[in-house]
A and B are shown apart, each in its own frame.
Chain A
Amino acid sequence: MMDRNTHSRRKLVSGAMTLITAACAIAAIIVLVLILTYIAAKGLTTINYEFLTDTPKPVGEGGGIGNAIMGSALMTLLATAIGLPIGIGAGVYLAEFGENIFGNTVRFLADTLIGVPSIIVGIFIYTLIVLPMGRQSGLAGALSLAIIMIPIVARTTEEMIRLVPQSMREGALALGAPQWRVTWNIVMPAAASGIATGAMLSIARISGETAPLLFTALNSRFYNYFFDQPMASLTVQIYNYATGPFEIEHQMAWAATLILVGLILVINVLVRFLTKKKY
């Protein structure tokens, strides 16, 4: 009798817990779903070819976000070109040679930098690059994005490389491979998909940044391919449209937001694709 009681009680508790955690899981994604549908509903109607290719125009004359998409792409590209090699290199160092005071210091500072609000990075670049140059520029914007990217890439790279089993390293060392070759053509390929994931996630992260671009890249009303000039970006353009006084601007902000979210979604899907292991 006693036994059956505890048994049914246990089943009840177990069922209740499953329900509660399931509810939490739904609560976690419902927000995302709501945001996505809301953005889609608000933005979808405004999107057309002109909107995707045009530059911003005075209210009432149409205009679009073509230059902003281009600016975002250019700055993200340059930031990636700077941040990815440095971040991966730093991560390799931390994982393979970083068991010392220097490594621990770098690790601690990287973790701190990850937690620093991005606007502070913007102020840093503003003081360091924008003031001496005398104007905002795509370069300054890209640099601040790179600074945000480096610690993220470094730490994920380190984690991924640590996951490569020691036995694999020993197998290569035992064949007479020097340390750098073990790292370069055994450890790195084994961790490649993980490192790629970290890289893509960091790209997704910086392509959504607004604050560090506000006073580094500023904005531009034109297509601009020169990094020494102010450059438009999707996020800043959204900010401008959204804070404008007219309803048409708000709609364009929604549409631009939809484009941005779509691009980030594409990057995340790419990550999924890349993490499929070849061997």
Chain B
Amino acid sequence: MGDKISIKNLNFYYGKNQALYDISMKIPEREVMAFVGPSGCGKSTFLRVFNRMNDTIPYARVEGEVKIDGKNIYKTKTDVVALRRKVGMVFQKSNPFPKSIFENVAYGIRINKMHSGKKDLADRVEKALRDAALWDEVSDRLNTSAFGLSGGQQQRLCIARALAVQPEVILMDEPASALDPIATQKIEELVVELKKKYTIVIVTHNMQQAARISDKTAFFMLGKLIEVNPTEKMFTNPDDELTEDYITGRFG
């Protein structure tokens, strides 16, 4: 399969502090790429490079090249709004809007004017909720507050919200770190299911999770990419000693 995202000589700065050092890698289409590494190693920062979420942070600065479908997204004429529609994101802490379940999912559809009429909107919302494996649990209370859902359901609602705008890439920033094992398992099954249609990049602190769901794994430390390899190789026979030490729990 082709590469969806390719990164070349990427450096990232928060003001004077450099957070990412000279990263080059490729992320293949319709696979799950996991980013692992100790806290503060820059993996979340790196993830937020792909939908230019770092733009909201004052003094953040990017050097280098990030191409999605062959187009450099850091060109000045890049339409950030269109980019973010194409590259969806699920956050560490579920962040539903203070609206009903239905309106949460409908929001992205509405602002991007993707629907033709009420019926179509309802259909799209249902499809997104089904794809996020949430429909059966919420179909009878679509008009109640999203805050009434459990933590795991809220996170799947946020996934449904992201799916509703039909992105091509989904970025997930530790989507299961605040969830119990059962809710985590549901998210993981969902990720495996979603990769049939989407390119998924997931940041995780959970090594087993990375091993279970990802096709490739990238290991970061202190803002540097140490190693990127197929997950199987990474967890059995890594190229770098640091990777092995980290994965086997010798530090971190």
What is the interface of chain A, defined by CB distance below 8 A to chain B?
A: 99, 165, 167-178, 181, 185-186, 189-190, 277-279
11 A-B contact pairs sorted by A residue (CB < 8 Å): A167-B91, A167-B93, A170-B91, A171-B91, A171-B97, A175-B84, A177-B111, A181-B111, A189-B99, A279-B98, A279-B100
- For the complex, what is the distance from the CA of A274 to the CA of B88, rounded to whole Å? 35
**Contact present for B165 and A279 (CB under 8 Å):** no
**Contact present for A172 and B107 (CB under 8 Å):** yes
**Contact present for B53 and A170 (CB under 8 Å):** yes
**Contact present for B97 and A186 (CB under 8 Å):** yes
Q: Which residue of B lies closest to A174 (CB)?
A: B89
| Contact string against A for B residues 84-120, beta-carbon threshold 8 Å, 1 for contact and 0 otherwise | 1100110101011111100000011001100000000
B11-36: which residues lie under 8 A (CB-CB) from chain A? none
**Contact present for B81 and A176 (CB under 8 Å):** yes
**Contact present for A178 and B81 (CB under 8 Å):** yes
Chain B contact patch, size range: 20 to 34
Q: Does B56 sit within 8 A of A, measured CB to CB? A: yes
Known contacts A175-B162, A181-B111, A279-B145; is-contact A168 B97 (Cβ 8 Å): yes
* B56 CB contacts on chain A under 8 angstroms: 169-170, 173
Q: Does B146 sit within 8 A of A, measured CB to CB? A: yes
- Can you add 4 more A-B contacts, CB < 8 Å, to A189-B98, A279-B98? A174-B88, A174-B89, A177-B111, A277-B98
B144-200: which residues lie under 8 A (CB-CB) from chain A? 145-147, 158, 161-162, 165
- For the complex, what is the distance from the CA of A174 to the CA of B89, rounded to whole Å? 6
**Contact present for A165 and B53 (CB under 8 Å):** no
The secondary structure that dominates the A interface is helix
Q: Which residue of B lies closest to A176 (CB)?
A: B85
Q: Which residue of B lies closest to A99 (CB)?
A: B58
**Contact present for A279 and B99 (CB under 8 Å):** yes
Interchain Cβ contacts within 8 Å, total number: 73
**Contact present for A174 and B53 (CB under 8 Å):** yes
Q: Which residue of B lies closest to A177 (CB)?
A: B111
* B81 CB contacts on chain A under 8 angstroms: 176-178
* A185 CB contacts on chain B under 8 angstroms: 107
* A278 CB contacts on chain B under 8 angstroms: 145
* A178 CB contacts on chain B under 8 angstroms: 81, 111
Q: Does B1 sit within 8 A of A, measured CB to CB? A: no
Q: Does B214 sit within 8 A of A, measured CB to CB? A: no
* Cβ-neighbour of B108 out of A165, A167, A175 (below 8 A): A175
* A189 CB contacts on chain B under 8 angstroms: 98-99
For the complex of A and B, 6 pairs with smallest distance between CB atoms: A176-B85, A175-B108, A174-B89, A279-B145, A167-B95, A171-B95
Task: State how many angstroms separate the Cβ of B166 from the closest Cβ of chain A.
Answer: 11
Max chain B Cβ within 10 angstroms of own Cβ: one of A176, A178, A277: A176
**Contact present for A168 and B95 (CB under 8 Å):** yes
Q: Which residue of B lies closest to A181 (CB)?
A: B111
Max chain B Cβ within 10 angstroms of own Cβ: one of A171, A173, A185, A277: A171
- For the complex, what is the distance from the CA of A232 to the CA of B99, rounded to whole Å? 44
- For the complex, what is the distance from the CA of A228 to the CA of B82, rounded to whole Å? 52
* A167 CB contacts on chain B under 8 angstroms: 91, 93, 95
Task: State how many angstroms separate the Cβ of A151 from the closest Cβ of chain B.
Answer: 26
Q: Which residue of B lies closest to A166 (CB)?
A: B56
Q: Does B51 sit within 8 A of A, measured CB to CB? A: yes
Q: Which residue of B lies closest to A193 (CB)?
A: B98
- For the complex, what is the distance from the CA of A185 to the CA of B107, rounded to whole Å? 9
**Contact present for B98 and A175 (CB under 8 Å):** no
* B89 CB contacts on chain A under 8 angstroms: 170, 174
B47-67: which residues lie under 8 A (CB-CB) from chain A? 51, 53, 56, 58
- For the complex, what is the distance from the CA of A168 to the CA of B95, rounded to whole Å? 6
Task: State how many angstroms separate the Cβ of B84 from the closest Cβ of chain A.
Answer: 4
* A190 CB contacts on chain B under 8 angstroms: 97-98
* B165 CB contacts on chain A under 8 angstroms: 175-176
- For the complex, what is the distance from the CA of A189 to the CA of B85, rounded to whole Å? 23
Known contacts A171-B95, A189-B98; is-contact A176 B108 (Cβ 8 Å): yes
* B112 CB contacts on chain A under 8 angstroms: 175-176
**Contact present for A174 and B58 (CB under 8 Å):** no
Task: State how many angstroms separate the Cβ of B145 from the closest Cβ of chain A.
Answer: 4
**Contact present for B95 and A165 (CB under 8 Å):** yes
- For the complex, what is the distance from the CA of A99 to the CA of B96, rounded to whole Å? 26
* A165 CB contacts on chain B under 8 angstroms: 95
- For the complex, what is the distance from the CA of A172 to the CA of B83, rounded to whole Å? 13
* Cβ-neighbour of A175 out of B85, B96, B99, B145 (below 8 A): B85
- For the complex, what is the distance from the CA of A278 to the CA of B1, rounded to whole Å? 48
Known contacts A99-B58, A279-B147; is-contact A173 B84 (Cβ 8 Å): yes
Task: State how many angstroms separate the Cβ of A51 from the closest Cβ of chain B.
Answer: 46
Max chain B Cβ within 10 angstroms of own Cβ: one of A167, A181, A189, A279: A279
Q: Which residue of B lies closest to A186 (CB)?
A: B97
Task: State how many angstroms separate the Cβ of A72 from the closest Cβ of chain B.
Answer: 35
